[in-house]
Amino acid sequence: MVRLLAIDHVQLAMPAGGEHRACAFYSGLLGIPERPKPANLAGRGGCWFEAGALKVHLGVEVDFRPALKAHPAFLVDDVASLAKKLKAAGCRVVEDEPLEEYERVYVYDPFGNRIELIQPLVPLRKTVGPCP
């Protein structure tokens, strides 16, 4: 039986020519270092940001529309401080009710894509096995 093992990366769309704004947000504000795209993909535009297992790729979409509902959720160690930093930088940050075990906010990248930032309130549990 073939099993899914993990998510390798998340790809978000961006308009053509937005690489500098993407770098300022994903690398400058969120702290995810930019990684050069492979040579065979570099001509398509966009950019990649990676830190260990956290991989966010932005690809150019000709008829770009931001993802307003669908979103990645990034675990952070201090959601309140990061939200404050993002607000000070002029980012749109929307506070939401906490989930059972997480504090959370939504931030919108420079292109309007929604990103959830969540902070565990208790140590994360490791789940193993199939869904019930």
In a domain, 126, yes or no: no
Q: Which domain holds residue 90?
A: 10-60+69-120
Q: Tell me how far apart the alpha carbons of residues 103 and 121 are, in angstroms, rounded to a whole number.
A: 7
Q: What is the pLDDT of residues 32-43, one digit of tens each?
A: 999 999 999 999
pLDDT in tens, 60-104: 999 999 999 999 999 999 999 999 999 999 999 999 887 888 999
CATH of the domain at 41: 3.10.180.10
CB 119 within 8 A of CB 103: yes
Specify the DSSP class assigned to residue 44.
T
Query: Which of 92, 118, 94 is CA-nearest to residue 106?
Result: 94
| Statement: the pTM of the whole predicted model exceeds 0.85 | yes
What's the burial of 69, exposed, middle or buried (CB within 10 Å: 0-12/13-18/19+)?
exposed
Q: Tell me how far CA of residue 10 lies from CA of 7, 81, 89, 123, in angstroms.
A: 8, 24, 24, 24
pLDDT band, very low/low/confident/very high, at 105 (cuts 50, 70, 90): very high
Q: Answer yes or no: are the C-beta atoms of 112 and 14 closer than 8 Å.
A: no
Residue 130 lies in a domain: no
- The domain total for the chain is 1
C-alpha 78/C-alpha 82 separation (Å) is 6
Is 80 a domain residue? yes
Q: Tell me, what's the pLDDT at 50?
A: 97
